[in-house]
A and B are shown apart, each in its own frame.
Chain A
Amino acid sequence: MNVPTMAEMMAQGKQPEVLFWVGCAGSFDDRAKKITKAFVKILHKAKVDFAVLGTEESCTGDPAKRSGNEFLFQMQAMTNIEVMNAYEVKKVVTACPHCFNTLKNEYPDLGGTYDVMHHTQFLKTLLNDGRISIEGGSYKGKRITFHDPCYLGRANDVYEAPRDLIRKLEGELIEMKRCKRNGLCCGAGGAQMFKEPEKGSKDINIERTEEALEIKPDIIATGCPFCNTMMTDGIKNKEKEEVKVLDIVELIANAQDL
């Protein structure tokens, strides 16, 4: 795959339109890497002039901050800001709502002010500008529900961009009982992804998966690599593997056989 880095761009004296912040999950997690690649395919198709930081990218510090380790968070943040400012980054897009929230809201205070977009917002602008088209393909008529990531939805009030994209797939967008502002967390946020849950009667991702299965979807669409993991685990646990858990960019890329 042709994925230019900021360093390569700079060597050629070029400044890309947008920095694609891949994030740790998108870089290392096997499931999330597929989301990353699907997004890159769409960027290529739309002829977006983008670059990544590659080995110069480092964790935004989100899980450290939500764990209460403000030191580690700010160390990460300032290191990343130094790198991005050196490349004179203006616009950032990321497929991870946790990176999105941290970069957008918590970096400016520390000297890193960028125009940060979640990939669903970015795709929406590409669509509006006529740079991409979205077809239903094999998803035409499928029942698709969207699981709102907390750090995109309640944390930043982005509810419509992902839904607008799903509607373009000509599927049937169905909503879970708790959605948008009332959406139930998948259980991964606040650094829960990296630890066992406290003792209780049920795991949160099971609760959420059951709620999704109630409305009998063909596809559970996600917009966050961590939600994706949690919902995929939930589906496995419920032995309902005929229900697919896919990121919105995967749906768009698959529909066009990219």
Chain B
Amino acid sequence: MQYLPNILFAVVLIFGITFFARNVKKLVRNIKLGKSVDRSDNSSLRWKNMIKIALGQSKMVRRPVSGLLHIVVYVGFIIINIEVLEIIIDGLFGTHRLFQNYLGAQLYGVLIGIFEMLALLVFISVIIFWIRRNVINIKRFLNKEMKGWPKNDGNFILYFEMVLMTLFLVMNATDTPFQEAGIGNVVSQYLVPVFSGFTESTLHIIERGAWWAHIVGILIFLNYLYYSKHLHILLAFPNTYFANLNPNGQFDNLGSVTNEVKLMLDPTADPYAAPAEENADALPEKFGAQDVTDLNWVQLLNAYTCTECGRCTSVCPANQTGKELSPRAIMMKTRDRVEEVGKNIDTNGKFEDDGKTLLDTITAEELWACTSCNACVEECPVNIDPLSIIMDMRRYEVMEKSAAPQELNMMMTNIENNGAPWQYNQMDRLNWKDEE
């Protein structure tokens, strides 16, 4: 019977981690539904970007208030995890504050002191975050895509963090030997009076309760990630690593189009020639993106990484002037659709046509409102590229559906006929030199 808590702990831990691993597998499979794109080049620059942008939070602090608060929560999260390691070992082996024996009371006290300070700072930051989301009317948290689940998701995460930090401090405050030693209880000592009337055994029960709730809470939080925008705490790293390194203005040239254009421009090409043998059965490639499987895997990784902060939308010229387009909504709709496709595969073994596509939720009105100004791309703290998705979907609209706005069709006809977007004769191109 004496090993019951250890066994129970091991079971909970294994269950929590297995369930998480299962979802990670699903996540990787879903991202791989995207088309291939080569991002294996220039690994030194990619590492540098990841360290600077994801680990170093360099783009976060462009907005100092939310940036600095975010750093507090982020640093707190990482460092307090050292304590989680101790909790796991204690739980498995039935020890109590194992690291104390190895580190010595002094060093251990300093460490726990730092954890407690961070826990308090995280708690305060999270409260400010909550106020920013729910009390102060900050526009980017109020856009229409932030109603319902996305709003609740944001708040749940904050509640989680508040509860976890409180449990950590309560656990320390009710640990009588720890308080009596008086080293490292820099914050929790102020909570001790709250529990002053309690007997030794009640305190112990509270301490154990807080300890268990803390670790179980962390495991629940870990498993909540996959269903939440909070996945960014993991994916920000691969996302910044695999992000586009070319100039923002450089859009990819579709290789499938290049082949056809070369054929069209080649006077020696035989238009009636049979397609090359090895490609004879291949389906002609779709131009542009109609659904998530037409996007590449980096774009899908982008969608899962998005934490819906809305900095992109807040700088989007179209959104700021009341248009339907919101780059954040593009990312959210993409993620929702990948998830839907993933569930379809889970249920049917492979993807069964459900009669839906990404174009059902991302409307033409949104796509055509984009000025391709790259403000969203530049602004994203983790280098997500909503513009590339917009452009791929425009390509589908134009090249597969011939559904460009009428004025753009006229513009394109002009380019085709006379080499300029307006109706001027190409032969008049140099007339300006003789005009006064």
A binding-site residues for B, Cβ under 8 Å: 1-3, 5, 22, 24, 26-29, 33, 36-37, 40, 52, 54-55, 57-59, 61, 63-76, 78-79, 82, 101, 104-106, 109-110, 150-151, 154-157, 181-182, 184-185, 187-204, 206-208
Contacts and interface: CB of A to CB of B under 8 A. Distances in A.
Interface stretch (B270-278, B338-346, B413-421): B413-421
B415 A70 contact: no
B92 to A, nearest CB: 50
A36 B261 contact: no
Nearest to B288: A68
B426 A55 contact: yes
Interface in B229-261: 246-251, 253-254, 257-258, 260-261
Nearest to A100: B249
30 contacts: A24-B421, A26-B432, A27-B429, A28-B428, A29-B422, A37-B432, A55-B426, A59-B419, A66-B372, A67-B412, A68-B399, A68-B404, A70-B395, A71-B257, A76-B419, A106-B251, A110-B258, A154-B377, A154-B378, A155-B374, A156-B248, A184-B317, A184-B375, A189-B373, A190-B372, A193-B421, A194-B407, A194-B421, A195-B368, A204-B371
Contact of B408 (A55, A181, A195, A198): A195
A128 B419 CA distance: 36
A199 B397 contact: no
A70 B258 CA distance: 9
Contacts of B373: 150, 154, 185, 189-190
Contact of A67 (B258, B264, B394): B394
B370 to A, nearest CB: 5
Contacts of B149: none
Given A71-B260, A105-B247, A203-B321, A64 B430 contact: no
A75 B320 CA distance: 35
A198 B421 contact: no
Contacts of B320: 184, 204, 207
Classify the secondary structure of B's interface with A: helix
Contacts, number: 220
B371 A1 contact: no
B180 interface: no
A195 to B, nearest CB: 4
B200 interface: no
A69 B253 CA distance: 11
A105 B433 contact: no
A210 to B, nearest CB: 11
Given A69-B399, A197-B323, A190 B415 contact: no
A41 to B, nearest CB: 12
Contact of B254 (A70, A155, A189, A196): A70
A198 B324 contact: yes
B360 interface: no
Contact of B247 (A27, A157, A185): A157
Contact of B433 (A3, A184, A198, A199): A3
B60 to A, nearest CB: 15
Contact of B394 (A3, A54, A61, A68): A68
B265 A154 contact: no
B395 A72 contact: no
Contact of B415 (A61, A192, A193, A203): A61
B248 A155 contact: yes
Contacts of A5: 430
Nearest to B419: A58
